[in-house]
Amino acid sequence: MSSSAEMSDAPPPATVTFGEPWPEFNNGLTYHDQVRTSDSGMTLIEFYSSKHKNSAPLQGWLQRIENGQITIDGIVVTDTKKVLRPGSVLGYHRLPWKESSVPYLLEVLYEDDHLIALNKPSRLQVLPGGLFQQRTVLSQLQWHARKENSSGARHESHPVPVHRLGRGTSGILLCAKTKLAKTRLASYFAEGTADIGGNRSTKPELGEKRNILKKYRALVSGILDEDEVVIKQPIGTLQYPGVAKGFFHTSKPALSIVNVLERDVQGNSTLVQVEIKSGRPHQIRIHLSFIGHPLIGDPLYVTGGQPKCFDSESLDESFAHDGGYRRPVNPVPGDCGYHLHAHQLALIHPMTNK
């Protein structure tokens, strides 16, 4: 399947879309921690100001506790000096906030009783995380399924994405509508990465050793001299200020095959097709920057595959009512702006084997 239809004499099929406008505010979020034996004797404020110092400064956590946003074993506690006991479950309720403006309409590229393929727009996050807890593909899928199920759909479905696309990446996103389809599709996406780790053939054909084929299109900086480039640079994780983790050109096996589609000498850019045999986070962005041709508009990865990573943060005053939040000054892994599109996805159907 492809997110761009081929030309033909037949009239184009009607575009099917769904989506609901986003509520102004989300529902907030509750984070849980369990007190470990090593934390015994710590006060409530000591725990949060040390364990979650990247979320807010000391004054921010004092404000949250005094606001009644912290619970211990389900009971609201406003005493900042409350001594913690091992085994207790702490809860921090983050107040509802207005998430950034993102698209909400999703185009359906293919659908049957077992799976649905969507054309994900750039800037829309797939799964909840960070500042986007409601404005995600998953939310729209759940709302759409709830509406269809309540209207007497032939088969009740609970669709979920079976892989991820970066927030700034557009194109084909595959979702499973049943548990069995989800299990089988997840194995498809995992097998390519496992094959690379096991040093199997770099170019197995679809239906021979692989059940899925993924091709992307990207606009990169500079002119690639070779028509085809095979990149085998490993990819792993690293600590990143203000977020759980970032990604870097080291550690786990990864394989990308890059083919030049068009060279724009005047604009000093190259349009490429990238087939990924593994599925490491940020793989295409890191691999292309590693060979000296980062994606145009990528705010994070520069030539060499090195992220712009500095320990510099600022306090976001727009969340002052909720104690404030620390934000990295420099780009973070989820930032958008780059030109990357999931153009083609071919697979063996998980239920029919066709």
Domain boundaries, the chain: 16-23+99-347, 29-94
CA 95/CA 64 separation, integer angstroms: 10
CB-based contact 289:295 (threshold 8 Å): yes
Fill in the DSSP letter of residue 305.
S
Name the least confident of 58-62, 72-76, 150-154, 350-354. Answer: 150-154
C-alpha 354/C-alpha 348 separation (Å) is 5
Residue type, 156: E
As a 3-state breakdown, the chain gives helix, strand, coil percent values, each rounded to 5, of: 20, 35, 50
pLDDT, tens digit, 9 for 90 and up, residues 78-100: 999 999 999 999 999 999 999 99
pLDDT at site 281: 84
DSSP string, 84-150: P-TT-EEEEEEPP--PPP----EEEEEE-SSEEEEEEPTT-BSS-BTTBSSSBHHHHHHHHHHHHHH
- Longest distance between any two alpha carbons in the chain, whole Å: 75
What is the predicted pLDDT for the residue at 332?
54
- CA gap 166, 127 in Å, rounded: 10
Question: Among all chains, which residue has been given the structure tokens 């529902």?
Answer: 27
Predicted TM-score of the model (pTM)? 0.83
Work out the angle at residue 237's Cα, subtended by the Cα atoms of residues 234 and 241, and round it to the nearest 5 degrees: 145
For 29-94, the fitting CATH number among 3.30.465.10, 3.10.290.10, 2.60.120.640, 3.30.70.2860 is: 3.10.290.10
pLDDT confidence of residue 329: 53
CATH of 16-23+99-347, one of 3.20.20.70, 3.40.50.10490, 1.10.3720.10, 3.30.2350.10: 3.30.2350.10
To the nearest whole percent, how much of the chain has pLDDT over 90?
Answer: 62
> Which pLDDT band holds residue 202 (cuts at 50, 70, 90)?
very low
Distance from chain centroid for Cα 192: 19
Highest mean pLDDT among 129-133, 240-244, 305-309, 320-324: 129-133
Q: Which residue has the tokens 């207005």?
A: 98
pLDDT digits (tens, 9 = 90+) for 258-311: 999 999 999 999 999 999 988 888 899 999 999 999 999 998 887 777 676 555
Nearest Cα neighbor of 25 from 120, 126, 131 is 131
d(CA 354, CA 352): 5
Q: What is the chain's alpha carbon radius of gyration, rounded to the nearest angstrom? A: 23
Contact 240, 250 (CB under 8 A): no
Strand partners, 15: none
